[in-house]
């Protein structure tokens, strides 16, 4: 009976942890929105299982056995120590979840995960000569600036769109895709004005005038999220601590860091902002469709 009670309490605990995270709008700090629905449903299932456990405890208390035949052995161990430890293992995440405040991933995790300063690395730069000949009809100026093959077509299209804007705004919706596009065709964007927001992150090798403005990109959960960002250069850099949220406006330049050619944004305006409600960005699955 005691097992049913403890299990019931643990299951209720997990169900309430999920409800609590949903109510406080903090579920998205752990799970991507596309997964959130499934997690909410699992709270219901956990709750149903908890009710069953309480019911079984009640049945046992009344002297009836609620056990069912399954040809398998679910009998809990009889060792008190072992049981305490196993239930402790379940209580541990609950305690962490309820007792520690929910925080967002910041520069300390970015340092562990390793930041990407040039968008998604899986895109190869298209071969310029090959694409020029594959185009049919007259090639206008823009097509020459944004050569593409079949794989980078969507980036070239996005690149032309961004190129025509006065100020390139890196929106949350296509954060990674925009950074990848700009990096892919970085020579065409030199001198353009760009605007983005994110948290401040530093590495030891950066100079005093440099920091990165970064966002975490999440697919399913925090474990698979990775930080993406742009290097910012500003004489005021030292005034901003790590994890400060900034809105940055600056000019795109090209520089090197760790031996790689990267984009460096020379800041014109740095404005401290409050951390947004949705601090993470997500890959846009409709990009290029």
For residue 22, state whether it binds another protein (rule: CB under 8 A): no
Contact track, another protein, 146-165, x by CB under 8 A: -----xx-x-----------
58 interacts with another protein by CB under 8 A: no
Out of 12, 13, 16, 30, point to the residue binding another protein (CB under 8 A).
30
Question: Among residue numbers 101 through 140, which ones bind another protein (CB under 8 A)?
Answer: 103-106, 108-109, 111-114, 116, 118, 120-124
Which of 28-36, 134-142, 162-170, 270-278 is the region at the interface with another protein (rule: CB under 8 A)? 28-36
Among 12, 56, 175, 244, binds another protein (CB under 8 A): 56
| DSSP-assigned letter for residue 189 | G
Interface pick for another protein out of 1, 33, 42, 273 (rule CB under 8 A): 42
Interface residue with another protein among 20, 47, 58, 90 (CB under 8 A) is: 90
Q: Which residues pair with 200 in a beta bridge?
A: 213
The residue to which tokens 């846009």 are assigned: 284
Bridge partner residues of 232 (DSSP): 211, 265
Q: Across-strand partners of 213?
A: 200, 230
Per-residue binding string, another protein, 207-246, x by CB under 8 A, is ------------xxxxxx-x--------------------
Q: Report residue 113 as tokens.
A: 């995960």
Residue 81 contacts another protein per CB under 8 A: yes
Q: How many residues bind another protein (CB under 8 A)?
A: 78
Q: What's the rounded Cα separation, in Å, for the pair 225 and 176?
A: 12
Nearest partner of 104 among 199, 17, 3, judged by Cα: 199
DSSP state letter for 282: -
- For another protein, the closer CB: 90 or 163: 90
Query: What DSSP designation does 164 have?
Result: T
31 counts as binding another protein under rule CB under 8 A: yes
CB of 224 to another protein, least distance (A): 5
- Of 72-80, 131-139, 160-168, 267-275, which segment contacts another protein by CB under 8 A? 72-80
Checking DSSP bridges between strand 193-201 and strand 245-257, what pairing results, if any? antiparallel
Q: 92 or 142: whose CB is closer to another protein? A: 92
- Could you tell me the CA-to-CA distances from 1 to 9, 60, 68 in Å, in that order? 12, 6, 15
Q: Is 159 left (phi over 0), alpha (psi -120 to 50) or beta?
A: alpha
Taking the complex as a whole, the smallest distance from the CB of residue 167 to another protein amounts, in Å, to 27
SS3 state at 199: strand
With the C-alpha atoms ordered 101, 104, 107, 109, is the resulting torsion angle positive or negative?
positive
């Amino acid at each position: 009976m005691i097992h049913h009670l403890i299990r019931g309490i643990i299951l209720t605990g997990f169900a309430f942890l999920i409800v609590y995270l949903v109510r406080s709008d903090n579920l998205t700090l752990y799970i991507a929105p596309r997964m959130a629905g499934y997690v909410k449903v699992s709270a219901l299932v956990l709750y149903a299982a908890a009710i069953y456990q309480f019911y079984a405890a009640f049945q046992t208390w009344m002297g009836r056995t609620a056990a069912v035949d399954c040809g398998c052995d679910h009998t809990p161990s009889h060792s008190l120590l072992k049981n305490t430890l196993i239930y402790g293992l379940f209580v541990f995440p609950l305690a962490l979840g309820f007792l520690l405040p929910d925080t967002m991933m910041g520069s300390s995790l970015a340092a562990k995960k390793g930041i990407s300063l040039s968008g998604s690395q899986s895109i190869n730069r298209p071969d310029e000569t090959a694409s020029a000949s594959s185009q049919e009809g007259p090639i206008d100026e823009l097509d020459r600036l944004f050569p593409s093959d079949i794989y980078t077509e969507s980036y070239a299209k996005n690149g032309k769109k961004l190129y025509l804007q006065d100020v390139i705004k890196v929106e949350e919706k296509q954060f990674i895709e925009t950074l990848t596009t700009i990096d892919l065709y970085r020579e065409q964007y030199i001198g353009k004005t760009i605007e983005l927001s994110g948290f401040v992150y530093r590495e030891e090798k950066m100079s005093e005038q440099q920091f990165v403005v970064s966002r975490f990109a999440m697919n399913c959960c925090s474990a698979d999220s990775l930080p993406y960002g742009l290097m910012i250069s500003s004489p005021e850099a030292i005034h901003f601590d790590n994890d400060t949220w900034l809105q940055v406006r600056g000019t795109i330049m090209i520089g090197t860091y760790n031996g790689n050619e990267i984009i460096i944004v020379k800041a014109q305006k740095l404005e401290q902002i409050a951390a947004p409600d949705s601090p993470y960005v997500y890959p846009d699955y409709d990009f290029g469709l």
